Structure 1
Amino acid sequence: MSHDGVGPRAVMRSVAFLTAGALAVTALAGCGSEDPAGKPLAGADIRPAARADVADGGTLRWGVDTVPATLNTFQADADATTTRIAQAVLPSMFRMDSRGRPVRNPDYLESAEVVDTEPKQVVLYRLNQQAVWSDGREIGAADFAAQWRALSGKDSAYWTARNAGYDRIEKIERGKGNLEVKVTFSRTYADWRSLFSPLYPKEVTGTPDAFNDGARKKLKISAGPFKVKKVDREDDEVTLTRNPRWWGAPARLKKIVLREVPRDERISALAEGEIDLAEIDPGAAERITVAARPKGKGQNEPLMGPGDGKSGRSAAEALRSWAVAKGSDEEAADEEAAEREERAEAAAEYAREQKALAGFEVRKSLEPAYTQLALNGAEGPLADERVRRAVARALDRKALAEAVLKPLGLPSEPVGSHLALSGQAAYADNSGALGEQDAAEARALLADAGWVPGGPVKEKTKDEGEGKEAAGSEKSSGEESGESGSDDDGTYIVGEENDGNDGNDGNDGNDGNEDDAGDDGKAPRNSATLDGEGQLAHDGTARHKQGGAPGAYAPKGTAAPANAENAPVAKNGKALTLRFVVPSGPGSDALRTVAERISRMLKKIGIRTEISKVDDESYFKDHIASGEFDLALYSWPATAYPATDARPVYAKPVPGADGSLNVAQNYTRVGTDQVDQLFDQAITTLDDSERSALLRKADSRIWAAAGSLPLYQRPQLVAARKNLANAGAFGFRTPVYEDMGFLKKGAQGPGKSSPSQSRLN
């Protein structure tokens, strides 16, 4: 999974934490008549078609990130492809609808409801009487019970990555008949719908050996519209075929082949006809969009620029190349001729690919996941809540969302919740608990924490007296604010160039909240001055320290130099510089762009950042999980069960028996007792509206603690063959695999690709 879409659910780490102080939070949304959950910002884009318009047969070749190491979704190394396979071949009691909310899956369930709450919660499942495993056996209570025992956490012989909810079950038994399953909980569990999705047969979960090893490479028994035919790790493919015992609507496709294709090779794979469907990056999406345009005047320009087409060389450069190739210097001419031949071949290949890509289209939506800025509160400057809040108040989250999503034609609203996305039951925009972008307030928070303009300490020389004060502690901003803070050792420090428009907030290069000059045009409105202790006065003016050395401090009311508000802030002679870690892989371009924009925004309040690009494979293990960062960007999924799934992400770290700190999935190491208590209340509250209110309250306090800042919902870009129906960018919705297929010839409409391109067989 790319780091802009990271969804690890069971990674454990250890480091310290910082609790949030007593902060006022906004009134809970939802008190009025309007539902604060709103609607999804973007719907699914799958080219929906009636099953009658979809041809019977054909093979869908689906490009994926990996051939999974395991087919068991409950193991630690399960990945997104594991989930895709499970959705197609295994029972799922509930699935997600277009709003990211759980709905009963009628192929498996006649009904499921809480039938008792006193003295204990009891859920009764009534199964579809046609539901059977691929070996002909009925799906029943024995399968539910075996999965509960495997995932309860009571038997350490089972290597499980998660057991949330299963650990609250007391017993499972048959109801009045084979089609009823009665589940009794020892402790009330509000997210009971999350259980048994997927459901494995008892042959997989019945013994530790079968669970740990048997289901890693094979699934001999399944119960979905498809079954696993073959896992070929040599050819990097997993083949799914129709399940002949499937009782639901018959699968339109004969086969689905999930083929591992690296992201940077997917354009070529699409053009070569090796895959029909695959998630792609924005650059690939642009190529497909250009290729699909109607050919006419103004519609046929090469994507890479004039000259040599793919090379992007200008006309002048192309002319010079021709002159050298035809010149009298034979050696230079031969070299240039060879290069020209290579460029011509590349251009021809590029043109051939573009022609082939005309048979595809880009389907786009927003993933059920959001990208956030994580602030490590374990140690260093960000251990101070005021500094974290200053970072938050410096950011224009709307501009960051627009930078990523607007060029893609997707809604670019910033995410307002840590626990849900727009449209989901628990969603409400609670960012008001932290406050909107306000550079002046951010500087005041830094000053209150002791970080003031001045720059780093200058080494004393023999000529300097012992009583001379270090720069950045007692000096006024006017004396040292001109220090650039730039490095000479190659460290990537963003923002040491001039303060021109950075292109991210649409303003004139200032902080986005104020003009450089005050209302009277005489001095910058935010030209903060320092008091005698190096602190900002609350009214933005200097408090003169009585008894100070004459001339050491500017008279009260003296305007600071231009751009003084952008001067590096320092404390105890040390400049405030934060380590910003980003992945270096080709699929993380958007993250690096966002990191640079954030760095420029922070520079405007005096915070410098050192951006470190690290290998994708070591990004989480060696940096995020180990706490080796101040700032980092990664993504979290927004599930339908935040009381269960989000709790370990925001729970207060707790000391272990060995003295270390268990932070679960709380990478930021920021947590509070109050947030934990609200999660605990939510997980035992069966009333849906009351539970949503508790989760929104918890989210407000998570915002106030400023350990993480949701930025934008992740884009979902999918390349799909034009005549492929009911597949593409699914958004929240669980894919309906039996409805996927290639349109019949008569149902395609004008300009659509031929069925022969889809390899119907």
Structure 2
Amino acid sequence: MDAPPADRRIPLRAGAALLAALALVLTGCSSSGGGSADAGRTVVPTLDAEDDNPQPAENVKDGGEFRPPLQQWITQWNPYQVDGTYGDAVEIMGYVEAKIFRSDAKGVFHPVPEYLISARVTSTAPQTVTYKLNPKAHWSDGKPIGYQDFKAVWQASNGKDPAYNPADSSGYEQISSVEQGADPTEVKVVFAEPYADWQNLFNPLLPASGLATPDAFNQSWVEKIPVWGGPFKPGVLDKTAQTITLVPNPDWWGPKPKLDRITYRVLATPAITQAFLNNEVDFASAGTAAAYGQLKEAKDGVIRTGTPWDEVHISFGGNGPLAEQPVRQALGRALDRAALIKIANQGVPVQFKPLGNHLFMTNQTGYQDNSGSWATFDPAAAKQLLEQAGWRDGGNGVRTKGGVPLDLHYVVSDGSAQTQLDLAAAVQAMLQQIGVKLTVDKVASKEYFTKYINQGRFDLASWRNTGSFPLSKGVANFRAPQGDNVFGNFSKLSTPEIDTLLRKAAGTIDPVEAAKLYNQADAKIWELGHTVELYQRPSIVAVRKGLANYGAGSLADTDITKVGWQK
């Protein structure tokens, strides 16, 4: 909820969505606050940190309620469906469904023992992955978790049947078969083409009963979670009250969760800070000057920071004048990124790092700045690009071509923090200097993604992409649409060369060679004029004192069973 209106997604990995709109930090029992060993309230954040107050189980109380905020009501709960990638929803589904892998702070994947006894590559010609399932693992309808669930995810997500609307077919389209192994607890997945990030697939795993037909895949998870298989289960989804509760799954075969209730409440972005101060929610983002200024001294609160995969950008649409690549390139040259970052960074004691890559964060191995001249502030060069594209000075400060003015619209949520509105106003002033009229349109926060971003109804817009780790999870944001399915590429801008490079990178096992290919693709994405990256966004959050095993992290996933209140 900081500079951008929300994060769009935590792509499916061993833990994200498309982080939540609020980084979805789980904070423990709302009535607690004593007995905390957390740091003082005025902790000064540092970059590249991870702070989740790690505590052994014996130091965490049994019971307690956690009250996180949500930025919007969740309609589509299927994280494999194109409309189901909203960050909070994907995070929650990792708590109520079969999260088969978790990554640690270094981004290394580990099988979750409640679901997997082992998972490994058992052949390289062709690449074959053998999963050995925990025989205790089962769904809420009593069915054991088995190969049919893996097969249903693959068939719905591989892009071969247009009746399914998958969020991302990366990895699944490389699979040639999913079959039972030596017994019902063994699954064999064979790849027609190598796929490096295989541990990212089937995670969280969903039951075949909810995926087996296009209607089930697209519709049976709307406004409900019909079957579950995680440590928590859905309680009450109250659309009228705009609250969602999770409670421990009584049939869970693993360690009992510490919390006995998680209650989510939908709040407009500006209201979340005050709700935290009023002890109405237990977590709030502190990534803007206004929020940090109020939250750093909050009673029973503590500031925590980390560096997750989290970026803020400005995306360009692909319609009207922006269908012309030189126009998009001109906009990139007209934006003073340093000035925009300064607006977002104002009053926050962590320096936001400029980001020169669409796929790597600055603290990831393989990162390099590929922005070149495409994001170098040069209004004169921007004007020249527009002139060459036939956009002439109209005499009133607005360029025209064929009698059509260069009139664009920047879409923002009406629930945006003031920082985001200030950023939009600055962009408006910068583009005016090169003869572009830019109107800032406020739209209803609950419709921002569903009716505007997801539908490509914008010329300019800013949001966050979070959790795009491993690297293959960023592919959906830049791949070519297939029919009506745009995956995560809402501007619909792409090229065959970018597609080929991204596909080849995802299939390259050697991480050094894969990084080279990803960086080649990234350079082409900059040249395309698809998105202007602004900065890597550190996680700066306020949590209620005493929260254990959750806070501001990096690449690590949360074990929700360990989250609770410190004794």
TM-score w.r.t. the length of structure 2 is: 0.79
Of residues 74, 77, 93, the one that matches 2:80 is 74
Distance 1:113 1:724 in 2: 35
Name whichever of 409-418 and 622-631 sits farther off.
622-631
Distance 2:220 2:388 in 1: 59
Do residues 86 (structure 1) and 93 (structure 2) align?
A: yes
Distance 1:450 1:218 in 2: 51
Do residues 686 (structure 1) and 509 (structure 2) align?
A: yes
Distance 1:159 1:451 in 2: 38
Q: Is the 8 A contact 1:405 1:411 kept in 2?
A: yes
Of residues 602, 614, 629, the one that matches 2:442 is 614
Q: Is the 8 A contact 1:99 1:424 kept in 2?
A: no
Partner-residue secondary structure (3-state), 1:173: strand
How much has 1:256 moved relative to structure 2?
A: 1.9
Q: Is the 8 A contact 1:582 1:592 kept in 2?
A: no
Q: Which residue does 1:456 correspond to in 2?
A: 394
Of residues 46, 54, 59, the one that matches 1:53 is 59
Do residues 718 (structure 1) and 541 (structure 2) align?
A: yes
Residue identity in the other structure for 2:9: G
How much has 1:253 moved relative to structure 2?
A: 1.7
Residue identity in the other structure for 1:741: G
Q: Which residue does 2:363 correspond to in 1?
A: 423
How much has 1:197 moved relative to structure 2?
A: 0.5
Partner-residue secondary structure (3-state), 1:372: strand
Distance change >3 Å, CA 132–CA 424, structure 1 → 2:
farther
Of residues 180, 183, 187, the one that matches 2:186 is 180
Q: Which residue does 1:695 correspond to in 2?
A: 518
Distance 1:600 1:209 in 2: 47
How much has 1:278 moved relative to structure 2?
A: 4.1
Distance 2:319 2:369 in 1: 27
Structure 2: where are the runs of 5+ without partners? 13-45
Of residues 171, 175, 178, the one that matches 1:169 is 175
Identity of counterpart residues, as a percentage? Answer: 33
Q: Show CA shifts across 1:118-139 (max 9, x none).
A: 2x33111233465454677653
Q: Is the 8 A contact 1:398 1:412 kept in 2?
A: no
Q: CA RMSD in A?
A: 3.8
Q: Is the 8 A contact 2:411 2:458 kept in 1?
A: no
Do residues 143 (structure 1) and 81 (structure 2) align?
A: no
Of residues 599, 617, 621, the one that matches 2:428 is 599
How much has 1:610 moved relative to structure 2?
A: 2.4
Q: Show CA shifts across 1:93-120 (max 9, x none).
A: 22343355644434433432332232x3
Superposed, 1:174-573 pairs within 5 Å as: 174-206=180-212, 215-216=221-222, 219=225, 222-279=228-285, 282=288, 283-289=290-296, 292=297, 357-365=298-306, 368-376=309-317, 378-380=319-321, 382-424=322-364, 427-432=367-372, 434=374, 436-446=376-386, 449=389, 455-457=393-395, 485=396
Of residues 466, 484, 498, the one that matches 1:637 is 466
Distance change >3 Å, CA 679–CA 611, structure 1 → 2:
same
Structure having the higher Rg: 1
Q: Which residue does 1:531 correspond to in 2?
A: none
Q: Show CA shifts across 1:220-277 (max 9, x none).
A: 6533332333334444333322334444443222222223333343345434443323
Q: Which residue does 2:131 correspond to in 1?
A: 125
Name whichever of 206-215 and 178-187 sits farther off.
206-215
TM-score w.r.t. the length of structure 1 is: 0.61
Structure scoring higher RCO (CA < 8 A, sep ≥ 6) equals: 2
How much has 1:76 moved relative to structure 2?
A: 4.3
Partner-residue secondary structure (3-state), 2:519: helix
Aligned length: 529
How much has 1:199 moved relative to structure 2?
A: 0.9
How much has 1:585 moved relative to structure 2?
A: 1.0
Distance change >3 Å, CA 650–CA 241, structure 1 → 2:
closer
Q: Is the 8 A contact 1:230 1:238 kept in 2?
A: yes
Partner-residue secondary structure (3-state), 2:95: helix
Do residues 649 (structure 1) and 438 (structure 2) align?
A: no
Distance 2:93 2:453 in 1: 29
Distance 2:199 2:332 in 1: 35
Q: Show CA shifts across 1:305-361 (max 9, x none).
A: xxxxxxxxxxxxxxxxxxxxxxxxxxxxxxxxxxxxxxxxxxxxxxxxxxxx41223
Q: Which residue does 1:728 correspond to in 2?
A: 551
Q: Which residue does 2:33 correspond to in 1?
A: none
Q: Is the 8 A contact 2:166 2:487 kept in 1?
A: no
Q: Is the 8 A contact 1:393 1:441 kept in 2?
A: yes
Distance 1:665 1:194 in 2: 17
Distance 1:599 1:62 in 2: 34
How much has 1:615 moved relative to structure 2?
A: 1.0
Q: Is the 8 A contact 2:170 2:475 kept in 1?
A: no
Q: Is the 8 A contact 1:578 1:607 kept in 2?
A: no
